[in-house]
């Protein structure tokens, strides 16, 4: 297949377009994982096993068991005050297809939507550059 390039300097922009599309693909993949958790997630009762401290607060580490009996851990969001004490029960949502994909309940859509929009914002210029190069 013969491809006609738009201008002599247009090949300079190919790596830029591919980088934009690659970054967009990674962001979309992470967003897809988050949406999958929300779409097919199973809610189970876990237990808070410890706290971890970050700049923006305290996060709980929860241990939970899947329907098949496997045990996993997940990290809750950092908050000003821990949502549970060590040893207390806590709700966890996990993806039955990928149990490592889990979050402490409640699960929000904010990050998933933000990553989706960011992926789209980065993909459009990348596609535009490719269209310009190949056009």
Give the C-alpha separation, 37 to 97, whole Å. 9
Question: What pTM did the predictor assign?
Answer: 0.64
What is the predicted pLDDT for the residue at 46?
Answer: 93
Residue 17 pLDDT level (bands cut at 50, 70, 90): confident
Give the C-alpha separation, 44 to 66, whole Å. 8
Closest-CA residue to 98 (of 68, 53, 57, 135): 68
Percent of the chain with pLDDT over 90: 27
DSSP assignment of 26-48 equals: HHHHHHHHHHHHHHH-EEEEEEE
pLDDT tens figures, 21-37: 999 999 998 888 888 88
Relative to beta strand 71-75, strand 89-95 is unpaired
């Amino acid at each position: 297949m013969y491809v006609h390039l738009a201008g002599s300097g247009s090949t300079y922009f190919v790596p830029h377009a591919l980088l934009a599309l690659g970054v967009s693909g990674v962001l979309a993949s992470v967003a897809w994982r988050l949406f999958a958790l929300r779409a097919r997630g199973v809610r189970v009762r876990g237990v808070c096993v410890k706290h971890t401290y970050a700049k923006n607060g305290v996060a709980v580490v929860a241990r939970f068991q899947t329907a098949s009996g496997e045990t996993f851990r997940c990290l809750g969001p950092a908050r000003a005050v821990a949502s549970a004490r060590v040893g207390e029960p806590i709700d966890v949502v996990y993806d039955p297809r990928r149990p490592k994909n889990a979050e402490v309940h409640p699960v929000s859509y904010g990050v998933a939507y933000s990553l989706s929009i960011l992926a789209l914002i980065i993909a459009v210029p990348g596609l535009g550059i490719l269209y310009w190069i190949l056009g």
